[in-house]
Amino acid sequence: MTLVLDSVTLTYPDGDRRLTALDDVSLHVPAGTVTAVVGPSGSGKSSLLAVAATLITPDTGTITIGGTSTTGLNRAVLARLRRRHVGIVFQQANLLPALTAAEQLRVVARLDGRRGGADLQAEAGLAEVGLAELAHRRPHQLSGGQRQRVNIARALVNRPAVLLVDEPTSALDRASGAAIIDLLTARTREHGVATVLVTHDRAHLDGVDQVVELVDGQIAVRVSRAE
């Protein structure tokens, strides 16, 4: 299960002209690997993530998630694709305040109309990120690092083909941030997920398989671990 972006170009209206956020970007993220996307502010990192998450349709180019091309799919089908095959780890944990940690995971199954097994899945998902004991706590009863772990567990609970991670350590101290990156890398390998990690912190690049540097919407540098 891979993520493939092929010649993706994305522009936004900006007054009378259009601003190019992504300019002919191609990216191949194999299953079980982490690709880090780095670059200065405004370089197109978040746009790349949004396009890969099917939240924006690019002007040109194709996105293929786990073998399914997203070209021409309507909103309802894209939503289903996200539910089943895409996990998103938000920059802020973005947990729903009314739900407990376990319910944050169960809601993903509910969105897909599934009830059976959701409790066990949620339990296992929280155990994977070391939060089994805190399953009944609400977001305001968790620390920043714990919230981010729930965020990751929620993204992984459906065993997605693709995991999109947006600056997961920006609100955390260095030690907590490193632990989160280690967790993401371990889960990527364990579940065979194609993970894209957007980060501004180069200290987190040690364990990744591929590093892509975006500048002005173009890939300026691409380094594979093997190289």
Partner 1 sequence: MFVGWRELWFARGRFGLLVGVVALITVLVGLLSGLTGGLAGRNTSAVLGLGGDHVVFAGEDAQFGGSGLDESTAREWAAVAGVRRVEPLAVSMGKVEAGGRSAGVAVFASPGSEVVLSRGAAAELGVRDGATVTVGDLTAVARVSTEDDYFSHAPVVRVPLPPGSRFSVLILSTSDSDVAAADQRLGTKTETVSDALERIGSFAAENGSLRLMRGFLFAISALVVGAFFTVWTIQRSNDIAVLKALGASTPYLLRDALGQAAVLLALGTTTGTALAAVVGAALPSTVPFVLDLPTLAFPAAVLVGLGLVGAALAIHRITTVDPLTALGSAR
**Is the Cβ of residue 93 or residue 181 nearer to partner 1 in the bound state?**
93
Tokens 């002919």 correspond to 24
Name which of residues 57 to 76 contact partner 1 (CB under 8 A): 75-76
Task: Tell me whether residue 82 or residue 204 sits nearer to partner 1 (CB atom).
Answer: 82
Instruction: Let me know the angle formed at the C-alpha of 48 by 24 and 17, rounded to the nearest 5 degrees.
Output: 65
**Among 7, 112, 127, 206, interactor with partner 1 by CB under 8 A:** 112
Applying CB under 8 A, does 99 fall inside the site for partner 1? yes
Q: Which of 2, 9, 55, 68 binds partner 1 (CB under 8 A)?
A: 55
* Count of residues of this chain found to bind partner 1 when the rule CB under 8 A is applied: 37
Using rule CB under 8 A, residue 97 touches partner 1: yes
Nearest of 174, 179, 123 to residue 148 by alpha carbon: 179
Nearer to partner 1, 68 or 94 (CB): 94
In the bound complex, what is the minimum distance in angstroms from residue 139's beta carbon to partner 1?
11
Among 11, 68, 94, 176, binds partner 1 (CB under 8 A): 94
Q: Which region among 1-9, 86-94, 182-190, 201-209 touches partner 1 (by CB under 8 A)? A: 86-94
C-beta separation of 168 from 148 below 8 A: yes
DSSP string, the chain: --EEEEEEEEEEEETTEEEEEEEEEEEEE-TTEEEEEE-STTSSHHHHHHHHTTSS--SEEEEEETTEE-TT--HHHHHHHHHHHEEEE-SS----TTS-HHHHHHHHHHHTT--TTHHHHHHHHHHHTT-GGGTT--GGGS-HHHHHHHHHHHHHTT--SEEEEE-TTTTS-HHHHHHHHHHHHHHHHHHT-EEEEE-S-GGG-TT-SEEEEEETTEEEEEEETT-
Interface pattern 27-46 for partner 1 (x via CB under 8 A): -------------------x
Tokens of 55: 């939240």
> Which one of 62-70, 103-111, 127-135, 209-217 is the stretch in contact with partner 1 (CB under 8 A)?
103-111
- Residue 196 binds partner 1 (CB under 8 A): no
Window of 22-30, 96-104, 119-127, 203-211 that interacts with partner 1 by CB under 8 A: 96-104
| Binding footprint of partner 1 on the chain (CB under 8 A) | 12, 21, 46-47, 49-50, 53, 55-56, 75-76, 79-84, 86, 88, 90-92, 94, 96-99, 103, 106-108, 110-112, 138, 154, 166
